[in-house]
Every structure is written in C-alpha cells, then in structure tokens.
Chains A and B, each alone.
Chain A
Amino acid sequence: MKEVSKLTLASDAPGRSLFMLGNEAIARGAIEAGVQVVAAYPGTPSSEINEALIGTVKDLGFYVEWLVNEKVAFEVAMGASMCGKRTMAMMKHVGVNVALDPLMSAAYMGAVGGLVLVDADDPGQWSSQTEQDNRYIAELGYIPVLEPSSPQEAKDMTADAFHLSEEFGHIFMVRTVTRISHARGDVRLGPINKENREGVFTRDHRFVCIPVWSRKNRILMLERFARVKEAADGLPYNQLRLVDGAKIGIIACGISHGYTLEALRWLELEDKVSLLKVGTPHPLPEKLVRQLLSSVPEVLVIEELEPFVENHVKVIAQEQGINVKIHGKDLVPIRLELSTRKASEAIAKLAGVRLPIDFAGLDKLSEEIAPLLPVRPPTLCAGCPHRASFYALNSATRKVKRDLGERIYTGDIGCYALGAYPPLNADDTAVCMGSGFGTANGIARAVKNPVIGHLGDSTFFHSGIAPMVNAVFNNTNITMLVLDNSATAMTGFQPHSGTGSTAMGAASPQLKPEDVARACGVKFAEVVDPFDVQKTIDTMQRAIRFEGPAVVITRRLCEIVEQRERRKRGEAVVPYGIDREECNDCLACIKLLGCPAIVLEEGKVVIEEAQCAGCGVCAWICPKDAIKKDAGEEYGNAV
C-alpha cells in the first residue's frame, strides 16, 4: 500500500494506476512517448500540463521551457522537431491564435521528430474571451486531431500522437477541453520510452517556406494528409457498435461520448441505438461513418460547440448518395458545455421517449433559487497591488477629467481583468493578450479623451512591447500602465522573462519593463510602488498629462507570492482594524476598494483579521482615519 502512494508521474510502472488530473495525464502521455523538448505559455485550461512535466524533469532529464508567448513556444517545438527530437507545445485555444502563423506552415513542412500541439479549448468560457472551436483551425492547417473522452484517453492519445506524427511525418494535434483537462480520474500507466535521441539538423528545402519550395510542400502535405485519412478508420479511438434493427445511429465525439453512454443507459436505449465513438474528428474515420449512415434512417451527431463533425458527416452522406436524415445542432446546443442531461434531451426527443428526471421541475427550482443567491464575482485578493493601482488610476483620471475629459481604460488578460467589476470598473475594453496597449493606440486616433491602457508584466513581454513601440513610432498620445506584480499570477505563478529564473530553475536576466520602454524610445517611463498611493496618483496624473506615449510601471510583488515569502521569513501579517470611536460607517472603504477583507456586519464596517493582508490602502483612503494598523481586538475585529 505504501508503495502505491509513492507512485508519481515519473514512475516507470506499466499497468499501475495513478489518480491524476486530465492535464497530468497529457503530461504522462508525453513522458511515455519519450518527449525531449517541451514548450508552453501558460493559459487556462492548459497550464498544468507543463507544471506536471516540470515536476518530473529532475527524474527524466528532458528539456522544458516556459516561453515568452505561444508563437515562440510553437516555434521552439517546431525547430527541435526539425532536428529529429520528439517535441510538444501546449497552449489554450486563444493561444493557438497567437501561434497561428508558424502553425500553418508546420503542416506544409512536415515533422521529422514527433511534433505534437496540445490545444486546450474552453467550452463554457470558464476563463476565456471566446468559445472558439479549434478543430476548425486544425482543418485550416491540414492538422490531424486526436480528441480524448477521458483522462485515460488523454494519456494514451498524447503518447500515440508522437508515434503517429513520426509514422506520417506530420504534425498532430491533441485537442482537449476544460472538462477533460480539469477532470480527475485513475489512469493506467504504460511503459516509458527512454530512448534519448541526439538532435541532428539536416538541411532541406522543405524548411525554407519561400513560394518555389512551399508549393512543393503543399503537394506533399496533401499526400500525407490523405494517408492519415486512410489510416483513421483503423485507430483504436474510433469504435463502431452496430445494433441490429436500430432506427437511430449516434456519432459522439470526444467528451460527448461519456455523456452519450450515460444518457443511453438512463433512457434504456443501449440495445436500440447504434453508436460510433469518434476520437479523430479530423480526419473522420470515413468508412465507419459510411457504415453507420447506411445502417439507419436517422443519425444524431453529439458534439460540443460547433457542428464540425456534423458538417463533415453531411458531406460524406452527400458524396456517397446515402439517404439518411442527419441531426446535430438542431437538437444539441451549440453554446456552453454539454452534459448527460443535454445529451439525454436530444436523444429522447429524436427517439420519442420520456426523460427519467423531471428537468423542467429542476429548471423551475433554479429560477426560484436564483434571486436568493448572493452575487459572487471573482475578486482581486485582499492585499492585491492591482487594487491599489486601480484606485490610484481612478483618482488620477477624476483629477484630470475637467481638463482632458472622461477617461477610457483599455484592459487586458490577467488577474487585473477582475478589476472590471465594480467598484473599481477598471476596464472599458478587454480583448486579448497585449490589446490593452494595442486598442489604446486605435482609440486615441478616434477620440480626444485620455486613453489609459493597462496590462501585467507577463503580458507585457508576451505582446505588450509591439504596441508600445508602435505608440513611439507614431507618437500616439496614450498612457500605458504595466501592473508589475512580478508573477504570472492568474495561471499559477509561472516564471517569465521578468522574474529572473527559467522553468528548469536556472537563473536568467531579469528584464525590466522600464528598461525596455526607455530602450524603445519612451520618454516618460516611471516606476512607482502602488501602496504609496499618493505618489502613484501623482505619477499617473503626470503621465496622462504628458504629450506623447507615457509608461508607468506600478511594481509590487503579488500578494500570494508575498504571503509565501513572508511565511519563509517567519513573519506574520499585522492586520488593520476599525477604530469604532472614529468610524462613522460611511462605507468609503467598501465602496471605493471592494476588498474582500472588509465586510459589513449588521450595518457596521468590520475588517476580517484572517483575510487582511496588511497593505494599508484602506487606511490611506479612510476620510475619518478610523482604520488603524495592529488595532487588534481592542477595536472589535472579527476573526
């Protein structure tokens, strides 16, 4: 028993089971395939794959990087694959947008060493700006897609993706979704490939994508993809179960397969419906699809998001002249994640059977409950330096309003997007990585209002530098804030170019946004501590009034990292408290900051000592000076 618990992602223990996250299963698959070079930029729901791999590097000795952005991450994987190494790049779906340029050429060039792209889609938009279905991106680039239905399959498919990539000399994509990446389950381990290949770069025209050679690449790519298409029917992830006399056939792709199996059991239709499980939505297993289409009068395609499989199945039916009615998005929702319920509703409607649970009753209950529930938006942590920065920004823009007009804030992707909620209201726009600065460039060309863009330190290095250079180049009158908490905080504190160490733990030069800004020709580039509230307000005001591009860096370590550091140093937080003699419950602290440590209990303002991080920003803004450090129980703190 003791031994079982010592089993880790790095254990070479075929046949044993380990409880793991879907993302850890993907990491384990890469380990089993003998991955040699790994490259990623963090983004939910993909981040834990690289975290898991980094945890095994000491034991297994491959190379892993956190990169500056997804484009470079993909290029690192692609470059190492050119030299014959097994390589993998991982990113969230919108990260693939950033990597799209080299990705589209990757399929043209083909792979030497196994080249795998892990794409993590986010149906339901749990932590993303879009719900885009990247199977379409795969189709655009002739990239075959493996789509797991469970953590076990996520492991198996990732390992196989490397073998397939080398067998066909072509890039492969593993497409996971949030509900697979963040699923947990027991996974049976396979053996670890310990072949540690030497990298060799052999010159080849196919790597030089100029038109004359790239046209030839396109011919070879089409041939390779046709071979993959031929092989798709034989892959173990595509399974057809025909039922004699079935009136309905179902095609279920990826995670939808689990929902479908459970729905069929619920509806007691397991023995009445034929089922094709699809693990390769692109290219589809055409022979299996044809077999199913020819065997039933009606087919239902169950898949999350877009009708990707559905439309391809319709093409197959048309080309083959098969007379079958094909359903999909007419019965299965196109938005959000699927569930056993949604699969059941679609199947029940088509089969004309009753649902086993009174869902209408549950919906009615939901409606009754909704108004009772507290609204609980995610919030910046107590002691978060971004809160101080946004408070200062709101004060500074109020002060310049008379002279310059109403401010426009262009926000970005990261923890600071939580500032979009009241009371900080720090985002008038928030689009994608780097667009806090990019969009500001555009708005400033259309209106006269002061435009202030903000983004974080990791985002600055990811894609904030180019729009800053553009503002210098075109002398755009905008203010650019870098909210520098020296962490990639939203995704789990991954190191980046500004933090001074690499994924492998090696020291690296700590790049400073102010040095980069000055080197790029920014004339106004100042650094402030956001907890020095007055100085931050003054600096921001000067930056906004400055003619031409101005950069302000508000630098203060992320409170979560600071907490860990404090613990290491053996220091305790000295919390603030309310002096009831002075406090008149004006609620300025609550209404201006929205700090989760400050709550209202029976009409009285209270600081929850356990939550207070001791930043003191509330004490600075309190008009009655009623918030005091180390006030303790004397002032009736709640604990």
Chain B
Amino acid sequence: MRVRNMATPSKEVNIVICGVGGQGVVLMSELLGHAAVQDGLKILGSEVLGMAQRGGPVFSNIRIGSDVYAPLTPEGKGDLMVAVEPSEALRNITFLSKSSLVVLNTRKVIPYTVSSGESGYPSLEVIMARLNQAAKKVMVLDAAHLAEEAGHLQSTNVVMLGALFGTRQMPIQTETINRTIAERFSPKVADVNIRAFGLGYEAIRKTISCEECFKEGAMN
C-alpha cells in the first residue's frame, strides 16, 4: 500500500454516482464519505431522496478537496462517474468533460414505460458512443454478474465502488474503504461486500492493463 500524505489535497475531485432507486447509490456515497473522513480529507456532497426514490433516477455526488464550498458538482466538472445503470450515465452526461473517467455497469434496469412501449431505451452502443464523445475514457463491467459471483446481487453497488477505486484516481486509500466496508456491515454481509469490491477493482485493473499492453504492442 502506498503511503499517502494525509493532508487534504487542494485539487478537488468530484465523483458523480448515478443509478436507479433501490440500487444502493446513497450507501455508496455514505461509505465514501466515512472513508474520506478517516483519511483526513475534506468532503462535501449531496443526494436527493424522497419522491425521487422508488425506481426513479437517483443521483449522488461526493466532492473531495479543501476548496469545495457547494454540495453540488458543477456541470462539466465531474472527474469520475460511477454509473450503476447504463442509461443513467447518459442522463447525467453534462457533468462530464474530456478529462472525466466513467465506470459503467452494463446491466440495464428497464422501467415500466419501456415495457409498455411509451418510451424507448438506448442500445449500449449508443450509450457508449455518446459517453466516449463526452469523456476521456469509459470502462465497462457486468457488475451484477460479479456481485452474484461475490455472493449476492445486492452487492452490485459495492462492485461499482471497487471499480471506482480500480481507476486509481481516488484520493481515499483502498485500505480505508475496505475497512469502512468491513465495519459497516454484519460479518456475513461484509465478507460478500469485500469480495464484491475486489472483483470490481480487478475488473477495471484488467481493462486498463490490457489496453496498456495493447498500446505498447501497437507502438512496437
């Protein structure tokens, strides 16, 4: 584990988390926040609850940095986006810039309006094309599948947290977030979640290292 300066970095890191009510988006930002405080980081964020829950789109954002004063990431200023549902990444696309990284769960949540034919649902290709235009890089994983592999579909959100840390762009130490997860849940659930985190983390590391190998190969 790298030794990191515990002082708050002055450069801000804005993390946008999006998904659908019931996917545990809020829990993700809670875990991030508790871990950040343990690492001595300044943190501010917000989410919307209430009527927006229950299957509706859920948006949360966490901002780390000593010069952050507003609990809402400005448009065009998201550094990292975690999309627990693919079309929700598209809904929040204006937070992205050409320097943003996106980690995206490919498992769709289809609303009633699509089943009844009132509304469409974009193909993964369309979603990816749009996101790739807006962001620096988009990394995908089947987080639902990995969560099941870890022990429970409900850990999809923790797989995505692992994916977020897999980008190695997080100012929070991986050890701290793992400890936070271990302390937050009963031992049985914590075990599943720690596994889920690891699977998400590795999935993104693999994506990145494969691409790096490929680039190197291409250059040779």
Contact = CB atoms under 8 A, between A and B. Distances in A.
A600 B115 contact: yes
B141 interface: no
A163 interface: no
A339 B47 contact: no
Interface stretch (B37-45, B160-168, B190-198, B203-211): B37-45
Contacts of B45: 183-185
B180 A184 contact: no
A365 B75 CA distance: 12
B93 interface: yes
A411 to B, nearest CB: 14
Interface string A22-59: 10000000000000000000001100000000000000
Nearest to A376: B111
A45 B41 CA distance: 27
B34 A19 contact: yes
A318 B29 CA distance: 47
Interface residues of A, number: 68
A372 interface: yes
A362 interface: yes
A147 B90 CA distance: 35
A127 B53 CA distance: 10
Contacts of B91: 369, 373
A231 interface: no
B74 A340 contact: yes
A222 interface: no
Given A374-B110, A378-B21, A610-B153, A18 B126 contact: no
A628 B20 CA distance: 28
Interface stretch (A136-144, A208-216, A255-263, A473-481): A255-263
A418 interface: yes
B111 A596 contact: yes
Interface of A is mostly: mixed
Interface residues of B, number: 62
Contacts of B117: 600
B37 A259 contact: no
A17 interface: yes
A490 B57 CA distance: 16
Nearest to A605: B115
Interface in A252-298: 255, 257-259, 261-262, 265-266
Given A185-B45, A261-B69, A339-B72, A374 B114 contact: yes
Interface of B: 20-21, 29-30, 33-34, 36-38, 41-57, 62, 67-72, 74-77, 87, 90-91, 93-94, 110-122, 126, 130, 134, 153, 179-180, 183
Given A184-B45, A262-B70, A378-B56, 15 more contacts: A1-B179, A4-B38, A19-B43, A126-B49, A178-B48, A184-B47, A266-B74, A337-B72, A359-B76, A365-B94, A369-B130, A377-B56, A377-B113, A378-B52, A590-B112
- Which 10 pairs between the two chains have the least Cβ-Cβ distance? A127-B50, A44-B50, A378-B56, A127-B51, A258-B70, A183-B71, A258-B69, A340-B74, A600-B115, A375-B119
7 contacts: A22-B46, A44-B49, A45-B49, A185-B71, A255-B71, A339-B75, A590-B112
